[in-house]
Amino acid sequence: MKALVVAVAAVPFASALLVQLFGARLRRGAARVSVGAVALTFVLAAATLALALDGHAPAQFALARQWGILLFDPLSTLMAVVISGISLVVHVYSVRYMAEEPGYARFFVLLDLMTGTLLVMVAAGDLITLLAAWHLIGVLLYFLLGHDARSRAAHRYASWTLITYRLGDLPLVLAAGLLYHAYGTWSLPKIFAAIGTDPRAHAVLGVPLPEVVAALVALAAFARSAQFLLHTWLPYTMSGPTPVSALMHAGIVNAGGFLINRFAPVFVHTADVLPGVFIVGLITALIGSSLMLTQNDIKKSLGYSTMGQMGFMIMECGVGAFALAIFHLISHGLFKGTLFLGAGGVIHSAREDDGVPKDDLYTFVVEKRPANQRRPWILMAAITLAVPVVILMAAHFLVSQDYFQEQGAIVLLFFGWITGAQLIFATYRMRAQNFWRLVVLSVFSFAIVIVGYTLISHAFDLFLYPDASFRRGLFAAADIGAVRFDALVGLVTVSIVAGWVFTYYSEQGRGRRREVRAGRWWSTLYALGSREFFLTDLYTRLARALEAAATRLNVWLRWV
Amino acid sequence: MGTPGLWSVAIFLPLFPLSVIFNALFARVGNAPMRAIILLAWPQVGLVLFGILPPGRVAGGVVALAVLGSLLYAFRAIALRDVDRWTGYIATSAWALLWPALAHHAAIDTLRLYALGFSVPLALLVLVADALKRRFGAAYAGLYGGTVRMLPRLAGATALVVLAAVAVPLFPGFFALVAVMVTTIPEQPWLAVCVGLTWLLWTWGGIRLLQGLIVGPGEAVAPVADLSRVEFGFYVLTLALLIAGALRLPGVTA
Amino acid sequence: MSLRLGQTLKIRAMAYVAGEPIPFFWPMRSFIHHNPLHGLEHHPFPEAVARGERLFQARGFLPRSGYQRYLRLGKVDRAALGAGVEAFLAQREAVAGIDLPKWILALMTRMDRPVVAGSGLAREADVVVALRGGPIRGTVPGADHVRARLREELLDSRPVYEAVDLLFGTGVGAELDELVIKSCLDFFDEGQSVWSMPGRERGFFAAWREIARRSGRLYLRGLHIGRILRDEEGPEAVIVRVMETLGVGEGRWTTYFTRELARLHGWAGFIRWRSGARHYYWAQRYPADLVDFLAVRLALGLALLGERARTGPTTEPELERFIEDRWREAYLRHELFSGAVLPAMAARVERTLAAGRPARIERLYEEYVAAKRAEEARDQAERLQVLAAMSDGQEALSRLSAEDLGRLVGILRDFERGEGMIWLNAMENRAVERLLGGIRPGAPPADGKRPFAQALFCIDTRSERIRRHLEGVGDYETYGIAGFFGVPVSFMELGKGSEVHLCPVLLTPKNLVMEIAVAQGNDDVTALTVLEKAFHELKESVLSPFVTVEAIGLLFGFDMVGKTLLPERYNRWRKRLHQRKPRTHLLLDKLSREQADSVIRAVQRAVIAKAIAQEFGLEAEQIHDAVVRELREVAMGHAQGAPKLAAMLGLDATSEQAFIGRLRTVYRINPSVVRLQMERLGRLGFSLDEQVVFVAQALKAIGLTENFSRFVLLVGHGSTSENNPYESALDCGACGGNQGLVNARVLAQMANKPAVRRRLREQGIDIPEDTWFFPALHDTTTDELRLFDLDRVPASHVVYMDRLRKGLLAASRLCTQERMPTLLPSPASLSPAAASRYAARNALDWSQVRPEWGLAGNAYFIIGRRALTQSFALEGRAFLHSYDYRIDPKRRLLETILTGPLVVGQWINMEHYFSTVDNERFGSGSKAYHNVAGRFGVMTGNLSDLRTGLPAQTVLDRGFPYHEPLRLITVIEAPFDHAWRAVEEVSVVKYLVRNGWIRLLIVDPERHCVDVYEDAAWSRRPFPGTVQSQPAEESVPS
């Protein structure tokens, strides 16, 4: 068993070393070696998952004396399978896609190192290994995104990513320090056991230790999963090759969700950290989805859609449904990875439907269809709002009754619909077909998505957090008063309807007087949206100011 | 802790105003091996002096001064394009971080290993800078660049050495910095945050330097010879030894 | 301040003239190969390339190492190199003691970096001293010399912000480009973003100003853009105010605008094309032109200058003064920030400039200039010694006097500037030699036997291979004709509903063709129960059951795993889910007035029947024709009441009137709509004599006027590829970047019409009864040949069909076997079956960046009979246009070939040439970093200019050029004066030949000689190879 777990993490590193040493001689063979190694890793990971599924007890294997512990538990095996699976697909895709790029062998070495580091992070059983893997991912991602060594712009944008990731490492190191200081050991299972027995034992500056550590871990997760104010790096990673974007959006960006799940035993004993996490996730989901709708190129719109989805995942953690967050990050990973790998096909779909409305003669003579009467937007908005709620309620009767009581679950499933809507926006263009057919289709696929969500998330819950009291503890930790909960649901409903109003405005845009006044307000909002709330400009100016200050400092302190 | 003794140690574990000595000396020395030796020896002398002096508590103020001085040099390093001065500033910033560990009575030989962990990558960087000077006339970021396509081995060595210098994981610097932060957290958490920020500024400075040296179109690079396999092997082997040493570094993992 | 009309027109004229050299950029939905230096085609080729290099900061020729590689591969004619060098040295007198030809040949063939380097601070005397190893002393270059060089370098040819960047390293240019690109993306987006920029109807500048003014306050603290964009001004006024604020002299505005446009030549080219494209839907709805673009760019430039360079000079007069009085600091700053600084002193220069004390700067300047001169002299001496060692002239070099050395360096510098042309001519000579060695001018006597099938292929270079294999497989004859078969068509596809122009971009089609489905939804009526209707509703929609698989598939990665691990099987299964396109017919006969009226009436009756069914839920049998006819009369206003309907349904008067009202409004049964439809229907289709002209023109152009076989295939071509933004570049260039099938179906339908054949027989083209024209599609990615419209084939031909299908299959498999080794990573010979499997995989694999080589490798354009090239395997490198000079006495057909296909061929050739020599500036870089923007173009990474030209994967193979960059070598098989007078009459082609954009050869089959046009003179050479004595005499048909 130990050999299996260690092999899962070791094989990619061995393959990286092999490809680096014999890369020049193997030429295209290097890719085959790398693909074979990742395939082997996937098989091993699947084997460990199979063992975990049929009830093998969680275990840990220490490589070095104090640290280097690899865990074997449901979370690590599941994530190992996901990461090695996606890495396998990206490897096979890159064999031909990157064939013409200089640094072909170097690309596969970096891919293998990244896969190995991710697998180590997922299986990290102690704080030092976790910190090392967490930090190394940021550095490897910088070199993957900056693969085109000729382009200075690619490296400039990649350094945004690296700086944000390093900003995210800082709270994690502080949390590790606090835990080591309080409990004298680096090993996570020991720490979680100690916290379990007596959560209020230690305090930092008057605040109980679990609260502080949970807050710091949440901060680290925010930086890694591009939450609002720390998100500007994600849409600007498109200078990297497409396979890197696919691997990143499917495997790396959602490490924040994994980290919060890993520290679940700490979050259980917190009172007001999770609602804060929920708020941040909510803001990010709304802003990410709205900015996605204003982007003019395919990759940046996918980037912002990922930001929205990561916000949604953090919201799921915020309401206590940790297992659903894991399921969501897996399904979003596959969904986004596919869209990225097929991003070149936009021109093909544009050739079929380039947005030019059908010619009157055509609709009359060939299709004999009545003039496309203007759709009642208000009715359509109401339908796409009401219908999913009905489905949500129906979905509940499929699932056991008590599951329904947790408020968080309701919010969750209500937001399950957002993924459905996100899916609809991303895959079909609303204005292409006629109205009734679209309603039938959307209802049909919402039902599939929501029922799928409910059933599978329940299965994940049973697998990842078997003991029910722990789950209830999580929900308790995330519990916010009933009043604030309803206010939140109302707020989100209003924002979704507002989304429809924006779409209505951007479609109309004709110059009536009432329109002009609204138009001015709407163009201010658009100006804000098109400059992405001025955050990117703010951060660039901040960086430039720091460099100028450093230069001036160097001039004044010339001698010191 | 007698002040004269402290001042002498402060020269070698550079506290802010006294770091002028090291930097001035480092800037004067011309040839590369000599600079590498200075880098390796300088902190060890400081630790030896600290060992000789009568044991006493290091004042809190000194630790704060050390950490803030380290932050200052890290901040100044982000705007530098000349590799030699960058090495000097990062060395000053790194050694100053030994003071918090000194203040918490960490074992001297552990600190000696930490100092070595900081110094060896910087010594290698001096050698790499010398290799760059021989080929392009100066080790200056943003002037030529584009060495990844033309001189892959030299670019690889530069990248690995700079990463080691900015304490990327599994290099000793990483474990040293984690140990320093862990020791400072209980009493003065804001100091730990400063150490973290210093670490962030190192990464930022290191990446800016790397972009200037290895990234770029590369046509402008005159046809010069790449590192020989032996030289490249030397760099990789030294770094591998560093990692092996780091894995068994006492202190953090003890 | 509002401008007088005169000044506004002047600005618009200036912008128009400034935009001339910028090439058009067509949306990539229909990729148009075009010459990046199209705006400079009125200059001779070498001069145009020099101007293009300066304007676009790009390379016009391969680096010398690239040509040396071709020399090793035997693609360069050494004799021609020697001749080129001789010609170059002829006008220059020799240098004492130096064997110049030997030196220059050594320079070309053995030295891989330029021998003359540096900006020339060091004078000849210093180089001589350096040669002898002495220390360099001497006077420092004076102030006015430095000022003159700085002024020429910074002010004459650059925009102001570029000069400021070069002096203070502020990076304003890069940030300005990003802001302008972001504004262009917001405005020109064609449906990618759901919330698009408001107020785009008012034009680019007006819409942008609304947004910029609002974001001005918050956006960048100092960006006082609000002040620049006062309300009442138009773009021209803003341009004038900005240029006057910058203090640029009015005389230099046009060149200034050209430099500004050339920085983002992708967007500028797109806007320039879009402002002229009247038919383009998005241009009509959201107008924009170059004046708007310039206004946006200049306004943002001024704002950024104000914000980023607050302390230093920001206008031309201030820059002038800065260079005047602080010229030393200006020189040092320029050296540092333009990257030309001496590495050894770089750190000191930076520190001194940062400190900014004049005394220290002056001392540093003296020291710096001396060191720089010494370094330059040493470097120049060292390079000369390397060259001398290669041509063993070391001691001659050391004995040279300063004055001789100066002349030697001058000669070498001039040579290196013109070296590219010598290499190009040498490569072209070798290519001409290879061609003339292979073609056979003496056509063998036509054996009169009727071929089993004749096939008309597009002139595309990929057709050459499949034609050669088809002829090799059986008794087939093939011809080459322009891909659109000479029939410009504006096509309205079933399901798309908007017009697409299927013809070269030079022409605009006048005739509209519509596609209607054969089985017009008759199963609509048979759906009985409500559930069946709903299910049918679901199935009939374009997405249907596919939706659920899509919804689930994407969530659980079926797509991701399937498309990557087993692309063919997975994609074929997905295609089966998609709605099969129903069999369709083309409406292409012009309707007379009454025919159009009866069509309208029939359609109206159908709509009314549908309306009744929908509104009142009646079944088909309950709707009586009389009722429908009566309703139509009422709706059209010819009658009042609708008694029959009211009686049948027992409607009272008001609901009846309401229904009629709805008929008029919702279902568009009213006189005004009918008038509009009648007018549109008038444009539909071709009249009979138009059809006759098109068929006659097509057949005569290729010389097929007699001896027709039973099968005449019209083979258009297209391509299939997955996840490929450049898929339209692989389709047919002559059909405007679309597939050639529709044009083939149109011409086939015309040629099969008995009335057309009767009129043709009167004109002397006798098409026998049993000849049938088949439209077919050649998929150039899988080399598959598929026949279409088989349901209209007469019974007599069905018997022969399997022999034809066997022949076509054999030809495509052999062609794939020959083509596939070039696509594999390691060239291994494959069996036809394995090659076809690879080709099929390439077409469906979404990770394949090079499904086929496409047009890469094009070099020749041969106008002549197939016999000329039948026996020569041209490896898919030649455009072959069939032409028989004997049936074209008035040279009219040759002129149509020259104006249409040859110009398109030249554009394709130049696009590949410039994308190969400089793939980063003229081409579009690597596909791995492409990011589709606005559904019409491609950017690299997050934000870049619109990438024009071809990607690296199309023209390069692992870094080395796969496409040999040559000019198009045109061969016309006809008597000399016949061909030359035709070329003279077509002015476009005449200047292309005169200015050297095309190499022209005329092969005279009767006198067995070939005339080559080289630097403005004809040279006649006897035809190499077999010189048959007896010229082949054929009976010239009546």
pLDDT at res. C1038: 36
What are the pLDDT digits (tens) for B23-57? 888 888 888 899 999 999 999 988 888 888 777 77
Residues A525, A505: Cα–Cα separation, whole Å: 12
Q: Can you point out the beta strands (E) in C601-654?
A: none
Residues 167 through 206 of chain B touching chain A, CB cutoff 8 Å: 168-170, 174-175, 178, 181-182, 185-186, 189, 192-193, 196-197, 199-200, 203-204
Rank A35-49, A181-195, A411-425, C528-542 by mean pLDDT and report only the highest.
Answer: A35-49
Please name the residue of chain A whose CA is at the shortest distance from the CA of residue C545.
A441
| Minimal Cβ distance to B223: which of C112, C339, C920 | C112
Report which of A35, A60, A45 is spatially closest to residue A10, judged by C-alpha positions: A45
Residue A442 reports pLDDT greater than 80: no
Please name the residue of chain B whose CA is at the shortest distance from the CA of residue C342.
B137
Return the residue matching tokens 């001392």: C363
**A145 within a domain of the structure (yes/no):** no
* CA atoms in the 13 A half-sphere facing the CB of A214: 29
What are the pLDDT digits (tens) for C1001-1037? 999 888 888 888 887 888 888 776 544 443 433 333 3
Contacts of C219 in chain A (CB under 8 A): 531, 534, 537
Q: What are phi and psi of B210, to 5 degrees?
A: -60, -45
Contact A170 B145 (CB under 8 A): no
pLDDT at res. A435: 55
pLDDT at res. C907: 95
What are the pLDDT digits (tens) for B8-27? 888 888 888 888 888 888 88
**Residue A207 shares a structural domain with residue A324:** yes
Three-state SS across A340-364?
Answer: HHCHHHHHHHHHHCCCCCCCHHHHH
Contact A371 C556 (CB under 8 A): no
Sequence-ordered list of residues with C-beta below 8 angstroms from that of B234, at least 6 positions apart, any chain:
none
Sequence-ordered list of residues with C-beta below 8 angstroms from that of A58, at least 6 positions apart, any chain:
A52, A71, A72, A73, A74
Return the residue matching tokens 């947005």: A355
**Please, is C678 exposed, middle or buried when counting C-beta atoms within 10 Å of its C-beta (0-12, 13-18, 19+)?**
middle
**How is residue C333 written in tokens?**
């700053």
Calculate the CA A455 to chain-centre distance. 21
Residues C647, C624: Cα–Cα separation, whole Å: 12
Contact B24 A559 (CB under 8 A): yes
Residue C644 reports pLDDT greater than 80: no
Residues 276 through 335 of chain A touching chain C, CB cutoff 8 Å: 290, 293-301, 331, 334-335
Residue A490: count of CB within 10 angstroms of its CB: 10
Contact A64 B23 (CB under 8 A): no
pLDDT at res. A511: 41
What are the pLDDT digits (tens) for C535-558? 554 444 433 344 444 555 556 677
Contacts of B86 in chain C (CB under 8 A): none
Dihedral sign for Cα C588, C592, C598, C604, please.
positive
| Confidence class for position A516, pLDDT limits 50, 70, 90 | low
Calculate the CA C529 to chain-centre distance. 54
| Minimal Cβ distance to C215: which of A297, A360, A531 | A531
What are the pLDDT digits (tens) for C770-796? 899 999 999 999 999 999 988 888 888
| Minimal Cβ distance to B81: which of C112, C344, C350 | C350
pLDDT at res. C193: 85
Residues C559, C549: Cα–Cα separation, whole Å: 10
Residue A131 reports pLDDT greater than 90: yes
Contact B136 C342 (CB under 8 A): no
The answer to which of A388-402, B202-216, B226-240, C728-742 has the lowest mean pLDDT is A388-402
Contact C931, C940 (CB under 8 A): yes
Contact A65 B211 (CB under 8 A): no
| Minimal Cβ distance to A177: which of B24, B185, B211 | B185
Please name the residue of chain A whose CA is at the shortest distance from the CA of residue C846.
A342
What are the pLDDT digits (tens) for A444-462? 666 666 666 667 777 888 8
Instruction: Provide the number of structural domains found in chain A.
Output: 4
Contacts of B223 in chain C (CB under 8 A): 112-113
Contact C343 B85 (CB under 8 A): no
Report which of C14, C21, C26, C17 is spatially closest to residue C55, judged by C-alpha positions: C21
**Residue A300 shares a structural domain with residue A268:** yes
Contact C435, C969 (CB under 8 A): yes
pLDDT at res. C579: 60
pLDDT at res. C853: 92
Contact C765, C697 (CB under 8 A): no
Contacts of B217 in chain A (CB under 8 A): 150
Alpha carbon of B2: minimum distance to chain A alpha carbons (Å): 25
Buried b (16+ CB within 10 A) or exposed e, C851-864: bbbbbbbbbbbbbb
**Residue A266 shares a structural domain with residue A333:** yes
**A143 within a domain of the structure (yes/no):** no
The answer to which of A533-542, C673-682, C710-719 has the lowest mean pLDDT is C673-682
What are the pLDDT digits (tens) for A11-45? 999 999 999 988 777 777 888 999 999 999 999 99
Alpha carbon of B182: minimum distance to chain A alpha carbons (Å): 5
Residues 219 through 258 of chain A touching chain C, CB cutoff 8 Å: 235-236, 238-243
| Confidence class for position C525, pLDDT limits 50, 70, 90 | very low
Residue C991: count of CB within 10 angstroms of its CB: 13
Q: Can you point out the beta strands (E) in C980-1030?
A: 998-1004, 1009-1014, 1017-1022
The pairing of strands A207-208 and A203-204 is antiparallel
- The C-alpha R_g of chain A, in whole angstroms, comes to 25
Contact C688, C759 (CB under 8 A): yes
Q: How many residues does chain A have?
A: 560
**Which of A318, A337, A355 marks a domain boundary?**
A355
> Domain range for residue A231?
176-355
| Minimal Cβ distance to C343: which of B85, B137, B223 | B137
**Residue A315 shares a structural domain with residue A343:** yes
| Confidence class for position C732, pLDDT limits 50, 70, 90 | very high
- Top residue of A106, A161, A346, A555 to mutate, by most chain C CBs within 10 Å, is A346
Sequence-ordered list of residues with C-beta below 8 angstroms from that of C392, at least 6 positions apart, any chain:
none
Neighbours of chain B (3+ CB pairs under 8 A): A, C
pLDDT at res. C648: 72
Q: Please name the amino acid found at residue A114.
A: M
**Which of A355, A370, A390 marks a domain boundary?**
A355
**How is residue A405 written in tokens?**
């009581």
pLDDT at res. C577: 66
What are the pLDDT digits (tens) for B61-112? 888 899 999 999 999 999 999 999 999 999 999 999 998 888 887 788 888 9
Residue C69 reports pLDDT greater than 60: yes
Residues 57 through 86 of chain B touching chain A, CB cutoff 8 Å: 72, 75-80
Residues C567, C569: Cα–Cα separation, whole Å: 6
pLDDT at res. C223: 53
Contacts of A176 in chain B (CB under 8 A): 178, 182
Contact B76 A180 (CB under 8 A): no
Q: Write the DSSP symbol of residue C1002.
A: E
pLDDT at res. C34: 92
Residues 49 through 78 of chain A touching chain B, CB cutoff 8 Å: 64-67
Residues B253, A127: Cα–Cα separation, whole Å: 11
Contacts of B87 in chain C (CB under 8 A): none
Size of interface A-C (CB pairs under 8 A): 323
Residues C396, C377: Cα–Cα separation, whole Å: 19
Mean pLDDT of chain C: 85
Alpha carbon of C603: minimum distance to chain A alpha carbons (Å): 6
pLDDT at res. C1032: 39
**Please, is A276 exposed, middle or buried when counting C-beta atoms within 10 Å of its C-beta (0-12, 13-18, 19+)?**
middle
Return the residue matching tokens 């349904």: C649
Own/partner pairs, C360-364, CB within 8 angstroms, 24+ separation: C361/C328, C361/C329, C361/C332, C362/C328, C364/C332
Q: Judge whether B245 is closer than 8 Å to chain A, CB to CB.
A: no
Residues C157, C163: Cα–Cα separation, whole Å: 9
For the segment C321-331, the average pLDDT, to the nearest whole number, is 89
**Residue A492 shares a structural domain with residue A559:** no
What are the pLDDT digits (tens) for C645-663? 777 777 777 878 888 888 7
Please name the residue of chain A whose CA is at the shortest distance from the CA of residue C280.
A356
Q: Calculate the alpha carbon distances from A326 to A73, A261, A323, A457 in Å.
A: 14, 8, 5, 9
**Which of A303, A325, A355 marks a domain boundary?**
A355
Q: What are phi and psi of C739, to 5 degrees?
A: -75, 150
**Please, is C180 exposed, middle or buried when counting C-beta atoms within 10 Å of its C-beta (0-12, 13-18, 19+)?**
buried
pLDDT at res. A70: 87
Sequence-ordered list of residues with C-beta below 8 angstroms from that of A378, at least 6 positions apart, any chain:
none
What dihedral angle (degrees, nearest 10) is formed by the CA atoms of C560, C561, C564, C570?
-100
Contacts of A152 in chain B (CB under 8 A): 145, 211, 215-216
**How is residue C698 written in tokens?**
């097509």
- The C-alpha R_g of chain B, in whole angstroms, comes to 18
**How is residue A72 written in tokens?**
């074997």
Alpha carbon of C371: minimum distance to chain B alpha carbons (Å): 13
Residues C860, C876: Cα–Cα separation, whole Å: 10
Contact A149 B200 (CB under 8 A): no
Contact C785, C776 (CB under 8 A): yes
H-run or E-run covering B108: helix B108-136
Contact A388, C681 (CB under 8 A): no
Q: Give the three-class secondary structure for C584.
A: strand
Q: Give the three-class secondary structure for C772.
A: strand
Q: Tell me how many degrees the CA angle A131-A134-A136 measures, rounded to the nearest 5.
A: 105
Alpha carbon of A366: minimum distance to chain C alpha carbons (Å): 6
What dihedral angle (degrees, nearest 10) is formed by the CA atoms of B116, B118, B121, B124?
-60
For the segment A348-358, the average pLDDT, to the nearest whole number, is 84
**Residue A549 shares a structural domain with residue A408:** no
Contact C543 A101 (CB under 8 A): no
Residues C238, C292: Cα–Cα separation, whole Å: 10
Residue A534 reports pLDDT greater than 70: yes
- Tell me which residues of chain B have a C-beta less than 8 Å from any C-beta of chain C: 81-82, 85, 136-138, 140, 142-144, 217, 219-220, 222-223
**A132 within a domain of the structure (yes/no):** no
Residue C363: count of CB within 10 angstroms of its CB: 13
**Residue A333 shares a structural domain with residue A397:** no
Contacts of C342 in chain B (CB under 8 A): 137
Contacts of B208 in chain A (CB under 8 A): 159
Please name the residue of chain A whose CA is at the shortest distance from the CA of residue B190.
A174
**Residue A376 shares a structural domain with residue A271:** no
**Residue A247 shares a structural domain with residue A270:** yes
**Please, is C744 exposed, middle or buried when counting C-beta atoms within 10 Å of its C-beta (0-12, 13-18, 19+)?**
buried
Residues 109 through 128 of chain B touching chain A, CB cutoff 8 Å: none
| Minimal Cβ distance to C346: which of B138, B217, B223 | B138
For the segment B161-178, the average pLDDT, to the nearest whole number, is 92
Report which of C932, B203, C921, C941 is spatially closest to residue A154, judged by C-alpha positions: C941
Write the DSSP string, C45-114: HHHHHHHHHHHHT--SS--HHHHHHHHHTT-S-HHHHHHHHHHHHHTS---TT--HHHHHHHHHHH--S-
| Minimal Cβ distance to B143: which of C63, C113, C339 | C339
Contacts of C118 in chain B (CB under 8 A): none
| Minimal Cβ distance to A97: which of C606, C728, C849 | C849
**How is residue A501 written in tokens?**
């109003």
Contact C710, C453 (CB under 8 A): yes
